[in-house]
Protein backbone atom coordinates (compact mmCIF):
# COMPACT_ATOMS: atom_id res chain seq x y z
CA UNK A 1 0.00 0.00 0.00
CA UNK A 2 1.21 3.50 -0.82
CA UNK A 3 -0.01 6.99 0.02
CA UNK A 4 0.64 10.03 -2.18
CA UNK A 5 0.89 13.44 -0.55
CA UNK A 6 0.63 16.61 -2.65
CA UNK A 7 2.24 19.66 -1.08
CA UNK A 8 1.06 23.13 -2.09
CA UNK A 9 2.39 26.47 -0.89
CA UNK A 10 -0.82 27.78 0.69
CA UNK A 11 -2.28 31.29 0.69
CA UNK A 12 -3.93 33.64 3.22
CA UNK A 13 -6.71 33.90 0.58
CA UNK A 14 -8.84 30.90 1.46
CA UNK A 15 -10.41 30.34 -1.95
CA UNK A 16 -6.92 30.11 -3.47
CA UNK A 17 -6.21 26.91 -1.52
CA UNK A 18 -7.54 24.34 -3.96
CA UNK A 19 -5.17 21.44 -3.47
CA UNK A 20 -8.11 19.23 -2.53
CA UNK A 21 -9.44 19.60 -6.10
CA UNK A 22 -6.04 18.68 -7.51
CA UNK A 23 -5.89 15.70 -5.19
CA UNK A 24 -9.27 14.37 -6.32
CA UNK A 25 -8.32 14.74 -9.98
CA UNK A 26 -4.99 12.97 -9.46
CA UNK A 27 -6.68 10.21 -7.49
CA UNK A 28 -9.09 9.60 -10.34
CA UNK A 29 -6.24 9.42 -12.85
CA UNK A 30 -3.87 7.09 -11.02
CA UNK A 31 -6.39 5.03 -9.05
CA UNK A 32 -9.46 4.85 -11.36
CA UNK A 33 -12.42 3.22 -9.69
CA UNK A 34 -10.80 3.35 -6.25
CA UNK A 35 -13.29 4.02 -3.47
CA UNK A 36 -10.57 4.73 -0.89
CA UNK A 37 -10.02 8.51 -0.75
CA UNK A 38 -7.16 8.40 1.76
CA UNK A 39 -4.57 7.08 -0.70
CA UNK A 40 -4.03 10.62 -2.06
CA UNK A 41 -3.69 13.40 0.52
CA UNK A 42 -3.05 17.13 0.17
CA UNK A 43 -1.38 19.63 2.47
CA UNK A 44 0.22 23.08 2.57
CA UNK A 45 3.48 24.63 3.71
CA UNK A 46 1.99 27.92 4.89
CA UNK A 47 -1.30 29.69 5.69
CA UNK A 48 -3.55 26.62 5.37
CA UNK A 49 -4.08 23.24 6.95
CA UNK A 50 -3.15 20.48 7.15
CA UNK A 51 0.60 20.99 7.06
CA UNK A 52 3.02 18.40 5.70
CA UNK A 53 3.89 16.76 9.02
CA UNK A 54 0.22 16.41 9.90
CA UNK A 55 -0.47 14.80 6.51
CA UNK A 56 2.45 12.41 6.96
CA UNK A 57 1.30 11.50 10.48
CA UNK A 58 -2.21 10.76 9.21
CA UNK A 59 -0.87 8.69 6.32
CA UNK A 60 1.51 6.76 8.59
CA UNK A 61 -1.41 5.79 10.86
CA UNK A 62 -2.57 3.45 8.09
CA UNK A 63 0.81 1.65 8.05
CA UNK A 64 1.55 2.11 4.34
CA UNK A 65 4.68 0.58 2.90
CA UNK A 66 5.50 3.75 1.02
CA UNK A 67 4.69 7.46 1.17
CA UNK A 68 5.31 9.52 -1.96
CA UNK A 69 5.59 13.27 -1.48
CA UNK A 70 5.11 15.49 -4.52
CA UNK A 71 5.86 19.24 -4.29
CA UNK A 72 3.13 20.92 -6.33
CA UNK A 73 5.48 23.78 -7.16
CA UNK A 74 6.58 25.08 -10.53
CA UNK A 75 10.30 25.48 -9.77
CA UNK A 76 12.88 24.08 -7.38
CA UNK A 77 13.17 27.01 -4.97
CA UNK A 78 14.02 26.95 -1.27
CA UNK A 79 10.76 25.26 -0.27
CA UNK A 80 11.39 22.42 -2.69
CA UNK A 81 15.11 21.97 -2.11
CA UNK A 82 15.35 22.72 1.62
CA UNK A 83 12.12 22.99 3.61
CA UNK A 84 10.25 19.92 2.38
CA UNK A 85 13.33 17.63 2.32
CA UNK A 86 14.07 18.69 5.92
CA UNK A 87 10.58 17.68 7.04
CA UNK A 88 10.90 14.39 5.21
CA UNK A 89 14.13 13.58 7.05
CA UNK A 90 12.28 14.21 10.29
CA UNK A 91 9.49 11.90 9.11
CA UNK A 92 11.94 9.13 8.19
CA UNK A 93 13.29 9.22 11.73
CA UNK A 94 9.77 9.08 13.20
CA UNK A 95 8.58 6.27 10.90
CA UNK A 96 11.58 4.06 10.03
CA UNK A 97 9.37 1.27 8.69
CA UNK A 98 7.98 3.41 5.86
CA UNK A 99 9.77 4.06 2.56
CA UNK A 100 9.62 7.79 1.78
CA UNK A 101 9.98 8.95 -1.83
CA UNK A 102 10.33 12.59 -2.89
CA UNK A 103 9.51 13.60 -6.47
CA UNK A 104 10.65 16.45 -8.68
CA UNK A 105 8.45 19.57 -8.79
CA UNK A 106 6.32 20.32 -11.83
CA UNK A 107 9.27 22.02 -13.48
CA UNK A 108 9.62 22.67 -17.20
CA UNK A 109 7.22 20.37 -18.97
CA UNK A 110 5.58 20.44 -22.38
CA UNK A 111 2.09 20.13 -20.90
CA UNK A 112 2.59 23.19 -18.68
CA UNK A 113 3.85 25.25 -21.62
CA UNK A 114 0.85 24.08 -23.65
CA UNK A 115 -1.53 25.25 -20.90
CA UNK A 116 0.24 28.64 -20.81
CA UNK A 117 -0.21 28.91 -24.59
CA UNK A 118 -3.93 28.12 -24.27
CA UNK A 119 -4.38 30.73 -21.54
CA UNK A 120 -2.70 33.38 -23.71
CA UNK A 121 -4.75 32.51 -26.78
CA UNK A 122 -7.98 32.48 -24.77
CA UNK A 123 -7.19 35.92 -23.31
CA UNK A 124 -6.70 37.27 -26.83
CA UNK A 125 -9.95 35.71 -28.00
CA UNK A 126 -8.18 33.49 -30.50
CA UNK A 127 -9.76 30.18 -29.47
CA UNK A 128 -12.64 29.36 -31.83
CA UNK A 129 -15.41 26.86 -30.96
CA UNK A 130 -14.14 24.29 -33.47
CA UNK A 131 -10.64 24.72 -32.12
CA UNK A 132 -11.91 24.02 -28.60
CA UNK A 133 -13.44 20.73 -29.73
CA UNK A 134 -10.34 19.80 -31.70
CA UNK A 135 -8.10 20.41 -28.69
CA UNK A 136 -10.48 18.55 -26.44
CA UNK A 137 -10.35 15.51 -28.70
CA UNK A 138 -6.56 15.71 -28.87
CA UNK A 139 -6.44 15.83 -25.07
CA UNK A 140 -8.72 12.80 -24.79
CA UNK A 141 -6.59 10.79 -27.23
CA UNK A 142 -3.38 11.82 -25.48
CA UNK A 143 -4.62 11.06 -21.97
CA UNK A 144 -6.05 7.76 -23.18
CA UNK A 145 -2.56 6.79 -24.37
CA UNK A 146 -2.90 7.41 -28.12
CA UNK A 147 -0.98 10.64 -28.84
CA UNK A 148 0.26 9.27 -32.18
CA UNK A 149 -3.27 8.86 -33.58
CA UNK A 150 -3.64 12.50 -34.62
CA UNK A 151 -6.18 13.42 -31.96
CA UNK A 152 -8.40 10.38 -32.49
CA UNK A 153 -9.01 7.12 -30.67
CA UNK A 154 -8.22 4.09 -32.81
CA UNK A 155 -10.58 1.30 -33.78
CA UNK A 156 -14.04 1.16 -35.31
CA UNK A 157 -15.67 2.31 -32.07
CA UNK A 158 -13.02 4.99 -31.40
CA UNK A 159 -15.13 7.95 -32.57
CA UNK A 160 -18.04 6.87 -30.35
CA UNK A 161 -15.82 6.39 -27.30
CA UNK A 162 -14.16 9.74 -27.86
CA UNK A 163 -17.43 11.65 -28.19
CA UNK A 164 -18.88 10.02 -25.08
CA UNK A 165 -15.78 10.93 -23.04
CA UNK A 166 -15.93 14.44 -24.51
CA UNK A 167 -19.60 14.81 -23.52
CA UNK A 168 -19.18 13.44 -19.99
CA UNK A 169 -15.56 14.15 -19.03
CA UNK A 170 -15.47 10.55 -17.80
CA UNK A 171 -12.77 8.21 -19.13
CA UNK A 172 -14.40 5.25 -17.37
CA UNK A 173 -16.76 4.88 -20.34
CA UNK A 174 -13.79 3.73 -22.42
CA UNK A 175 -13.75 0.51 -20.44
CA UNK A 176 -17.47 0.11 -19.72
CA UNK A 177 -19.08 0.72 -23.12
CA UNK A 178 -20.05 -2.54 -24.83
CA UNK A 179 -20.43 -2.83 -28.62
CA UNK A 180 -22.09 -5.64 -30.54
CA UNK A 181 -19.71 -6.65 -33.39
CA UNK A 182 -22.16 -5.24 -35.98
CA UNK A 183 -23.27 -2.17 -34.00
CA UNK A 184 -21.26 0.55 -35.74
CA UNK A 185 -21.97 -0.78 -39.21
CA UNK A 186 -25.68 -1.23 -38.48
CA UNK A 187 -26.02 2.25 -37.02
CA UNK A 188 -24.35 3.91 -39.99
CA UNK A 189 -26.45 1.92 -42.46
CA UNK A 190 -29.66 2.89 -40.66
CA UNK A 191 -28.74 6.57 -40.74
CA UNK A 192 -27.66 6.53 -44.37
CA UNK A 193 -30.85 4.68 -45.19
CA UNK A 194 -32.93 7.61 -43.93
CA UNK A 195 -34.41 5.66 -41.04
CA UNK A 196 -35.92 7.35 -37.99
CA UNK A 197 -34.63 7.28 -34.41
CA UNK A 198 -36.98 6.70 -31.47
CA UNK A 199 -35.93 7.90 -28.00
CA UNK A 200 -37.35 7.28 -24.55
CA UNK A 201 -37.21 10.87 -23.27
CA UNK A 202 -37.09 14.39 -24.69
CA UNK A 203 -33.63 15.05 -23.26
CA UNK A 204 -32.17 12.37 -25.54
CA UNK A 205 -34.12 13.72 -28.49
CA UNK A 206 -32.96 17.28 -27.74
CA UNK A 207 -29.31 16.23 -27.65
CA UNK A 208 -29.28 14.50 -31.04
CA UNK A 209 -28.22 16.50 -34.10
CA UNK A 210 -31.58 16.49 -35.87
CA UNK A 211 -30.32 18.60 -38.78
CA UNK A 212 -27.63 16.05 -39.54
CA UNK A 213 -30.14 13.20 -39.39
CA UNK A 214 -32.58 15.11 -41.60
CA UNK A 215 -29.90 15.43 -44.26
CA UNK A 216 -30.19 11.66 -44.67
CA UNK A 217 -33.99 11.75 -44.61
CA UNK A 218 -34.57 10.61 -41.04
CA UNK A 219 -36.09 12.25 -37.97
CA UNK A 220 -35.88 11.87 -34.19
CA UNK A 221 -39.12 10.91 -32.47
CA UNK A 222 -40.16 10.75 -28.80
CA UNK A 223 -43.59 9.70 -27.57
CA UNK A 224 -43.41 10.62 -23.90
CA UNK A 225 -45.19 13.92 -24.50
CA UNK A 226 -48.25 12.12 -25.89
CA UNK A 227 -48.79 9.94 -22.81
CA UNK A 228 -52.04 10.64 -20.98
CA UNK A 229 -53.24 9.48 -17.58
CA UNK A 230 -51.40 7.44 -14.97
CA UNK A 231 -50.49 3.78 -14.97
CA UNK A 232 -48.96 2.52 -11.71
CA UNK A 233 -47.59 -0.51 -13.54
CA UNK A 234 -45.63 1.38 -16.20
CA UNK A 235 -43.58 4.58 -16.35
CA UNK A 236 -44.43 7.40 -18.73
CA UNK A 237 -41.19 6.80 -20.63
CA UNK A 238 -42.05 3.14 -21.12
CA UNK A 239 -45.59 3.87 -22.28
CA UNK A 240 -44.49 6.65 -24.62
CA UNK A 241 -41.68 4.58 -26.05
CA UNK A 242 -43.85 1.49 -26.65
CA UNK A 243 -46.74 3.50 -28.06
CA UNK A 244 -44.56 5.31 -30.56
CA UNK A 245 -42.56 2.19 -31.45
CA UNK A 246 -45.79 0.35 -32.30
CA UNK A 247 -46.78 3.08 -34.76
CA UNK A 248 -43.42 3.97 -36.32
CA UNK A 249 -42.97 2.38 -39.73
CA UNK A 250 -39.56 3.83 -40.56
CA UNK A 251 -37.73 3.36 -37.22
CA UNK A 252 -34.26 1.89 -37.46
CA UNK A 253 -32.55 2.91 -34.21
CA UNK A 254 -34.09 2.76 -30.73
CA UNK A 255 -32.32 4.85 -28.11
CA UNK A 256 -32.89 4.61 -24.33
CA UNK A 257 -30.88 6.99 -22.19
CA UNK A 258 -33.02 7.39 -19.12
CA UNK A 259 -35.62 4.73 -18.38
CA UNK A 260 -34.62 1.11 -17.68
CA UNK A 261 -38.30 0.18 -18.01
CA UNK A 262 -38.31 1.42 -21.60
CA UNK A 263 -35.23 -0.66 -22.38
CA UNK A 264 -36.76 -3.81 -20.90
CA UNK A 265 -39.92 -3.16 -22.91
CA UNK A 266 -37.94 -2.55 -26.10
CA UNK A 267 -36.09 -5.84 -25.76
CA UNK A 268 -39.32 -7.68 -25.02
CA UNK A 269 -41.03 -6.23 -28.12
CA UNK A 270 -38.06 -7.17 -30.30
CA UNK A 271 -38.03 -10.74 -29.01
CA UNK A 272 -41.78 -10.96 -29.66
CA UNK A 273 -41.22 -9.85 -33.25
CA UNK A 274 -43.12 -6.57 -32.87
CA UNK A 275 -39.99 -4.46 -33.54
CA UNK A 276 -37.19 -5.08 -36.02
CA UNK A 277 -34.44 -2.57 -35.23
CA UNK A 278 -31.14 -2.22 -36.98
CA UNK A 279 -29.57 -0.98 -33.73
CA UNK A 280 -30.57 -0.56 -30.07
CA UNK A 281 -28.66 1.94 -27.94
CA UNK A 282 -29.40 1.35 -24.26
CA UNK A 283 -27.53 3.37 -21.65
CA UNK A 284 -30.06 4.27 -18.92
CA UNK A 285 -28.64 5.77 -15.75
CA UNK A 286 -29.76 4.99 -12.23
CA UNK A 287 -29.79 2.83 -9.13
CA UNK A 288 -32.94 0.79 -9.75
CA UNK A 289 -32.85 -1.79 -12.57
CA UNK A 290 -30.51 0.27 -14.78
CA UNK A 291 -27.65 -2.21 -14.36
CA UNK A 292 -29.98 -5.15 -14.93
CA UNK A 293 -31.56 -3.62 -18.04
CA UNK A 294 -28.19 -3.04 -19.65
CA UNK A 295 -26.95 -6.50 -18.72
CA UNK A 296 -30.12 -7.94 -20.33
CA UNK A 297 -29.40 -5.95 -23.49
CA UNK A 298 -25.80 -7.19 -23.58
CA UNK A 299 -27.15 -10.75 -23.42
CA UNK A 300 -28.93 -10.29 -26.78
CA UNK A 301 -25.75 -10.66 -28.85
CA UNK A 302 -27.16 -13.48 -30.98
CA UNK A 303 -30.33 -11.53 -31.82
CA UNK A 304 -29.63 -7.91 -32.82
CA UNK A 305 -26.90 -5.20 -32.76
CA UNK A 306 -26.66 -2.97 -29.70
CA UNK A 307 -24.50 -0.48 -27.84
CA UNK A 308 -24.68 -0.38 -24.04
CA UNK A 309 -22.48 0.02 -20.98
CA UNK A 310 -21.88 -1.79 -17.73
CA UNK A 311 -22.72 -0.22 -14.40
CA UNK A 312 -24.96 2.55 -13.11
CA UNK A 313 -23.58 5.37 -15.22
CA UNK A 314 -25.16 6.46 -18.47
CA UNK A 315 -27.94 8.93 -19.23
CA UNK A 316 -29.32 11.17 -21.92
CA UNK A 317 -25.99 12.87 -22.57
CA UNK A 318 -24.29 9.54 -23.22
CA UNK A 319 -27.10 8.30 -25.46
CA UNK A 320 -27.09 11.49 -27.55
CA UNK A 321 -23.29 11.45 -27.81
CA UNK A 322 -23.35 7.90 -29.20
CA UNK A 323 -25.92 8.84 -31.85
CA UNK A 324 -24.09 12.04 -32.79
CA UNK A 325 -20.86 10.10 -33.25
CA UNK A 326 -22.65 7.69 -35.58
CA UNK A 327 -24.11 10.65 -37.50
CA UNK A 328 -20.64 12.08 -38.04
CA UNK A 329 -19.33 8.69 -39.13
CA UNK A 330 -22.27 8.26 -41.53
CA UNK A 331 -21.48 11.63 -43.11
CA UNK A 332 -17.96 10.58 -44.01
CA UNK A 333 -17.34 8.97 -47.36
> Does the annotation count 110 as an active-site position?
no
* Sequence-separated (6 or more) residues with CB below 8 Å from residue 25: none
Q: CA torsion sign, 18 to 24 to 25 to 30?
A: positive
Instruction: Specify burial of residue 189 (Cβ count, 10 A radius: 0-12, 13-18, 19+).
Output: middle
The residue from 9, 31, 79, 166 that is catalytic is 166
Cis peptide before 50 (omega within 30 of 0): yes
Pair type for strands 99-102 and 2-8:
unpaired
Count CB neighbours of 329 within 10 A.
19
d(CA 246, CA 269): 9
User: What is the C-alpha separation between 244 and 226, in angstroms, rounded?
Assistant: 9
Q: Which residues are designated catalytic? A: 166
Amino acid sequence: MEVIILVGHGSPKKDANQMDVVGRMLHGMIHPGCAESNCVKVCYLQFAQPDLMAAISEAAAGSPGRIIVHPYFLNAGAHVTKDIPGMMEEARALYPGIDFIYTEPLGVAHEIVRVAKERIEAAKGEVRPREIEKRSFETIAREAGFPEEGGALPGEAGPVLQRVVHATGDFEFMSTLVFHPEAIKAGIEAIRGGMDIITDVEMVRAGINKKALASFGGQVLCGIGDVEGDDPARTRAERGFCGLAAQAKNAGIYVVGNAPTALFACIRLINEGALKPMLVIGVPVGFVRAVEAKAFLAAQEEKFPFITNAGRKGGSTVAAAIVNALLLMAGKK
